[in-house]
Chain A
Amino acid sequence: MSQSLAKECNELKERYDTCFLKWYSEKYLRGTGTEQNNECSQLFKQYSSCLQVALKERGIDKLLDEAREELKDSDSTYMSKKKS
């Protein structure tokens, strides 16, 4: 598995990634993993709270907001159209 940019989050990331990969191939791709809350949600929360601190410390959180704004059109291109 790949590393986190913050070393202190590596262990939490590893646990979450392992859970997600299992969920993705065993449930999501088989059409049974559509619920928002799943067995990996708690692990993601733990990893995410570690990561958010690291992003803030490095000032990356603001850059991410800008990039998100730049790519916001892709949400409508790749998501809402498919509803029909």
Chain B
Amino acid sequence: MKVFSNTETFNYSWEEVSAANWRKYCPWNEKSTHVIAVDTISRSVDPATGILRTERLITCRQAAPEWLKSMMGGGLDESQVFETSYVDPKTKTVTMVSTNITFSNLLNVQETVVYSPLSAHQTKFYQEAQITALAGGWQRIKNSIEDTLVKRFRENAAKGKEGFESVLAMSRHVFAEEREKEKMGLIREQAGNIRMAA
């Protein structure tokens, strides 16, 4: 088993980050083109804790190294991940746990991501992935598979940070525009009322 971990800081409030997190893989994020679909399987609010629990299916397309493809018999270009996430608005924590559902008999990748506030304007991102190759009798082959995936995680982490930054910036921009529109609507309405009263 190999472990990959990574910590990042985003200069946005936890509320902004946790909201933008739902649209992390949208066209605003040009760096995450490997994610081609995100589907919500179930969603509920736990009445006892107020925690929002969500199950999602994430479909990725990413070219695998040729040697790995030949070992696993092709079809490795598209893979799927099942994710369960928990939003606790009281402790201001988002926790996302995910596991691969494609090739789960050959390898197991379990990832945990946590978003928590550092201050009113800063949010910490922590990511940890445990990668275990189950296939093949030879330790040398297992090690190569694990190393390849760790390398892939490292590459995606750098792209992920950059991509999410652009989603955050875009979200803030759109949110400000919407607030402005609402305000203008309200002013127009008030003006209308005044006119009517006069």
Contact = CB atoms under 8 A, between A and B. Distances in A.
A60 B101 contact: yes
Interface in B1-53: 15, 18-19, 22-23, 25-26, 35-53
Interface residues of A, number: 41
B55 interface: yes
A68 B56 CA distance: 11
Interface string A65-78: 01110110011001
B86 interface: yes
A21 to B, nearest CB: 6
A44 B44 CA distance: 11
B107 interface: no
B37 A2 contact: yes
A5 B59 contact: yes
B127 to A, nearest CB: 15
B178 to A, nearest CB: 10
B23 A78 contact: no
Given A28-B52, A51-B39, A36 B26 contact: no
For the residues of A in contact with B, the DSSP-based class is helix
A78 B18 contact: no
A28 B188 CA distance: 29
B50 A34 contact: yes
A74 B84 contact: yes
A29 B19 contact: yes
Given A24-B22, A78-B51, A60 B45 contact: no
B88 interface: yes
B44 A36 contact: yes
A56 interface: no
Given A3-B37, A28-B52, A75-B84, 19 more contacts: A2-B37, A6-B39, A13-B39, A17-B22, A17-B40, A25-B15, A25-B175, A44-B43, A47-B40, A48-B40, A51-B39, A60-B57, A63-B101, A63-B104, A64-B101, A71-B98, A74-B86, A82-B88, A82-B91
21 contacts: A1-B23, A2-B23, A4-B39, A6-B39, A17-B22, A20-B22, A24-B19, A29-B19, A34-B47, A51-B39, A64-B57, A64-B101, A66-B104, A67-B101, A67-B104, A71-B97, A71-B98, A75-B53, A78-B51, A78-B88, A79-B53
Interface of A: 1-6, 9, 13, 16-17, 20-21, 24-25, 28-29, 31, 33-36, 44, 47-48, 51, 55, 60, 63-64, 66-68, 70-71, 74-75, 78-80, 82-83
